Every structure is written in C-alpha cells, then in structure tokens.
Chains A and B, each alone.
Chain A
Amino acid sequence: MKHLIILQEGAEMSNCKHVHTEGQTHQLLVNNLEVAYRTDTVLKDINLSAHCGSSLALVGPNGAGKSTLLKSIAGLIKPKKGEITWAGEDNMKCRGGEFAYLPQNEKVNWDFPITVQGVVEMGRYSQLGAWGKFTKKDDLAIQRALDLMEMNGELAQRQISELSGGQKQRAFIARAIAQEAHVLLLDEPFTGLDREHTANLSRLLRKLTKESRLVIASHHDINTLTDTFDQILLLNRIVIAMGECRDTLTEENLNLTFKNTSHV
C-alpha cells in the first residue's frame, strides 16, 4: 500500500504533550467508571487499561455503551463515579491535541460551506491555537492525511455534502489523522466504507499503532477484528471480557455480550 509509506515514524508525535520516548509507554486507565444519563445507568463498573502502541476494539450490541465509553474517555461526559487517567493525568485536563475523536456522522452540519481540505485543516487547529499561522509542517500533515485516506486532488476541493457516505467518513478520519494526536478515539470508523477502503483503513490503524499511538474504536464486524486490533473489549453496559482478540472471542463471551440485552 504505497500511501502508508509516506507516514514517517515518530515525526508526528512532536505536538503531543506526552511525547513518547523509547522504552516509555503511556497508559490509559479507567477505574470503576459509572456513567448515567439522568436516571439511566449506561455504563457500570468499567475497568480497563490500554497503553500507547496498542489498539483496542469496543464490541457490543446497540445500546451497549460503546459510544458513551469513547465520549467518556474523550472527556465529553462527566462520569457519575470513577476516574479516567491518561499518562497519570485526569483525562478532562488532556485537551488540545492529546486526543483525536471521530464522532458518528449524524450530528455534523453537512451544509457547512467547507471543502474536504478545509475539514482536514480544522484538525490542525488544536496545534495552531486560535491565532497560529499555518506552517509547512501543517501543510505536510494535511497533505499526508488526505493522501492516506485517498481524498486528495479533485475530492479535496469538494464541498462536504457532495461526498458519498464512505467519502464523508474518510474525510473525517483524515481530519483525525491530521491532528496527529496521541490517542485516537474512533466511533464506528469502518461505517460506510467499501471493501477496499476498509482494508486500507485496517492497515492504516495498524501503522498508527506501530507509531506508538493508542487506537480505540467501536467496531461491529467480528470477522475483521483480529486483522486490525490487538485487544478487544466486549461490552454490554458492563465489561463482559477484555483481552487479546484470540483469547477473548469465545462463543461463551459473545453469547454473554449479545444475548443479554442489559447487564445493569
């Protein structure tokens, strides 16, 4: 895959607050997390740890709390109980470049007068701040992200509502990549992608993991899990099981995850 070669190892981490150095890994820790929307408890007793240089898939049925867990890690939801830390620091304080978040697309204003390139440029705002000027480095990061997601050329100049579902998804992933964050939190990143782009994204996520990033993504397709992720967390409001894909994807665990609608 020629596009993947363009990404130079280590070069993108310099903007992160917690710069990864050799022999040092940063850990994401979730301790006894409980999240509720008003009276409805969505997540309970969630404990997990993951370190940079690894990838974790969140798997579970609809309403299992996958998106809520990603939002909690991103610091978008205040937990009812428990704590989340990244590199020993409260996740709410890890803003401005540490985390990149890919939301599900339904809340995006698609009529926004902005091109694909403009969307990807937005990914650099956390590095540039409110007033910083775009430098060559930023231009390179943007171009690289567009190349990786095959959104360059004419596609890059299209207004976002003129894209297909899969192209929209790729544009948003390109934006997350351009951000060059330490932790990538991706909510259903494979949604809408065709077979070729699914395979490309799978390879890209592996590459990002090798560059000492932590990739956490909600995922539906159990058949492609092992190709992309090191670890899996089976979730249905509580953690059913977590571990390496091969060990965790047992029939018993899957039954427990998908057959019981709610464990809270």
Chain B
Amino acid sequence: MSDLLQMLDMPFFRRALAAAALIGFTNGFVSGFVLLRRSSLTLSALSHTLLPGIVVVVLITGVLNQAGAFTGALLASLIVGIASITVTRYTRLPQSTAIAIFYTAAVALGVILIPYAHTSQNLEQWLFGTIQTMGDTDLKVFFGIACFTLMSSTLFMRPLLLTLFEPNVAAVQGVNVRRMNYLLYTLMIFALMASFQAVGPILSIGLLVAPGAIISLFTNNTKWLFWGGGIIGCVAAVLAVIISIPLNIPTGPAIVLVLGTLFLLAYISVTSRKFHSNTSS
C-alpha cells in the first residue's frame, strides 16, 4: 500500500492512471454499442488495419509521433471500411467477407513494410501500447473523446437504440438511421483511436468488446449495459496499471488480461447460478 502511495507521487504514474480511467470508461461505454451492433469482428478487422496505417506514415514522414500515428491509423481504417462497403454495394459478397480480404491484405502490406520503417523499437511500443508515456496533451485528447462519447450517446440514446434494434422500424418511427449509423461508427472509431495508444492496435478490440460482454451476462437493461460497461472498463484499466507498473509487465496486455479474467469469472458466476437454480427446481 505504501508503495502505491509512493508511486502516486510520480507524475507519470498519475497520468497513466488518469489515462487508463478515461480510456477504460470510454471503451467500456462504447462496447455496449459494439455488442448490440454485433460488429466485434468488423472492428477487430479495422483495429488490425491501424498497423499498416502507422507503418506507411513512418515510411513517408520518417518519424513516429502521436499525430502521425493517429492520421495513419484513421486513414487506413477509413480506406478499408469504405472499400468493403463499396464492394458490398456492387456485388453479392457480404461485408464481413469483403472486410476480411481487405484487412488481411492491409496487415500483410504492413508486415512487409515494417523492415523498411527503421523505427522497430518505437513501433513495438505502438503495437502494444505506451500508457506510461502519456503527456498532458494526450490526457486532454482522451478527456475530449470521453466527453464527446458521453454527450452524444446520452443525447441520441433513444434513436441509437431504435436503430440498433430494428433499423426499418426505427426509420418508420422517424429516426434518421443513416445519421445514427454514422454516429455509431464515429463513436467506435474514436474509442478505438483512444485505446490503441493504451493497449496497442492489436489488442485494442479486447478493451472495446469485453466490458459490454461482461455486463451483458448480468442485465436485461440497456442503460446498465453502457454505464456498467464504462465502470468495468475503467476499473479494469486502472487495476491493470496498478498491477503492471510495479511488476514491470507491459500495461496494454495487462489491461486486456484483467478484462479476460473478469469475463471468465463472470461467465463462471452466471453459469453456476443457472446450474444451481436448475438443480434446486
């Protein structure tokens, strides 16, 4: 306990804790939308395309910084997303197939280009997160993303839920389904962008899926899905920072591992409760 208090005196640790809380909450909150939209696989594909995006930016600019990584990652995910939508619109291929082809091709390109990027050490940090090196600007960005997520989803919660449940009925009820879909994509991409600095692009999908999945095992109330997901994401990320820094293990993988453990415990708790109620009745 005294070690923890000592660490709290260090600015980098306080910043890491604040970043973990903000990123964990944002991703946990948005994970409710990911779950309801059943788009875990699509987002997993998009998160992998962040890698080639970052590599290409390093190749072009010769440096690896936050702005460059953000831009590269955003452009790569947009290109893959739009390409898959275009293919789906003009062929009979389902979007999941189109996106699988594009994202694996993009990752393959990224892997081929890595040796030419000449920043392999930094790149490794970017791949698995760098939450310990967060600056004040990073925190402001995460705070902005968290505020936008909370405000927009609270303001448009009803039309968003109608759209996610049955888009045709939502449209007849007067919801602009297309705009709500754009808002959902924006929320998911922002959450993904926030999480890739904490846990890296490869693992970011874990932070964006697990909290909602955990809470959904316990509730039939959509409000709880979002707020509960946010709380679980926040607690898990903070816990992982507290555990990982003193033990000198990478924080990004620690966050995803804590969430994986929580999911396993939740699953065991729910199934054993069902088993007991079945045997007693």
Beyond A76-B168, A131-B155, 20 extra complex contacts between A and B, CB < 8 Å? A71-B168, A74-B171, A74-B172, A75-B171, A95-B171, A95-B173, A100-B172, A101-B169, A103-B166, A107-B168, A109-B36, A113-B220, A113-B221, A114-B221, A118-B221, A118-B222, A125-B162, A125-B173, A130-B157, A131-B158
* Chain A CB within 10 A, most for which of B36, B157, B165: B165
Once the chains bind, are B158 and A109 in contact (CB under 8 Å)? Answer: no
State which residues 173-188 of B face A: CB under 8 Å: 173-174
The distance in angstroms between the C-alpha atoms of A96 and B34, with both chains bound, is 26
The chain B residue with its CB closest to the CB of A74 is B172
Once the chains bind, are B155 and A97 in contact (CB under 8 Å)? Answer: no
Q: List 26 A-B contacts (CB under 8 A).
A: A71-B168, A74-B172, A75-B172, A95-B173, A96-B174, A99-B172, A102-B169, A109-B38, A112-B164, A112-B222, A113-B219, A113-B221, A113-B225, A114-B165, A114-B221, A118-B222, A122-B162, A122-B165, A125-B173, A126-B174, A128-B158, A129-B158, A130-B157, A175-B169, A179-B173, A185-B172
**A152 contacts the other chain (Cβ, under 8 Å)?**
no
B257 partner residues in chain A, CB cutoff 8 A: none
Once the chains bind, are B158 and A125 in contact (CB under 8 Å)? Answer: yes
The chain B residue with its CB closest to the CB of A108 is B166
Which of A102, A108, A130 interacts with B165 by CB under 8 Å?
A108
Once the chains bind, are A96 and B155 in contact (CB under 8 Å)? Answer: no
**B156 contacts the other chain (Cβ, under 8 Å)?**
yes
B161 partner residues in chain A, CB cutoff 8 A: 122
B195 partner residues in chain A, CB cutoff 8 A: none
**A25 contacts the other chain (Cβ, under 8 Å)?**
no
Interface positions of B (Cβ within 8 A of A): 36, 38, 155-159, 161-162, 164-166, 168-169, 171-174, 216, 219-222, 225
The chain B residue with its CB closest to the CB of A109 is B165
Q: Smallest Cβ distance from B179 to chain A, in angstroms?
A: 12
Q: Smallest Cβ distance from B14 to chain A, in angstroms?
A: 36
Once the chains bind, are A113 and B222 in contact (CB under 8 Å)? Answer: yes
Per-residue interface assignment for chain A, residues 23 to 38, with 1 indicating a CB less than 8 Å from any chain B CB and 0 otherwise: 0000000000000000
Once the chains bind, are B164 and A114 in contact (CB under 8 Å)? Answer: no
**A115 contacts the other chain (Cβ, under 8 Å)?**
yes
State which residues 102-149 of A face B: CB under 8 Å: 102-103, 107-109, 111-115, 118-119, 122, 125-126, 128-131
The distance in angstroms between the C-alpha atoms of A248 and B36, with both chains bound, is 45
The distance in angstroms between the C-alpha atoms of A185 and B219, with both chains bound, is 32
The distance in angstroms between the C-alpha atoms of A112 and B216, with both chains bound, is 9
B155 partner residues in chain A, CB cutoff 8 A: 130-131
Q: Smallest Cβ distance from B241 to chain A, in angstroms?
A: 29
**A159 contacts the other chain (Cβ, under 8 Å)?**
yes
Once the chains bind, are A107 and B166 in contact (CB under 8 Å)? Answer: yes
Once the chains bind, are A130 and B159 in contact (CB under 8 Å)? Answer: yes
B158 partner residues in chain A, CB cutoff 8 A: 125, 128-131
Q: Smallest Cβ distance from B180 to chain A, in angstroms?
A: 11
Once the chains bind, are B172 and A76 in contact (CB under 8 Å)? Answer: yes
B174 partner residues in chain A, CB cutoff 8 A: 95-97, 126
The chain B residue with its CB closest to the CB of A127 is B173
A179 partner residues in chain B, CB cutoff 8 A: 173
Q: Which 10 residue pairs across A and B have the least CB separation, nearest first?
A: A96-B174, A95-B174, A101-B172, A126-B173, A159-B220, A74-B172, A113-B220, A125-B158, A130-B158, A99-B172
* Chain B CB within 10 A, most for which of A75, A99, A111, A113: A113
The distance in angstroms between the C-alpha atoms of A130 and B180, with both chains bound, is 12
Once the chains bind, are B219 and A109 in contact (CB under 8 Å)? Answer: no
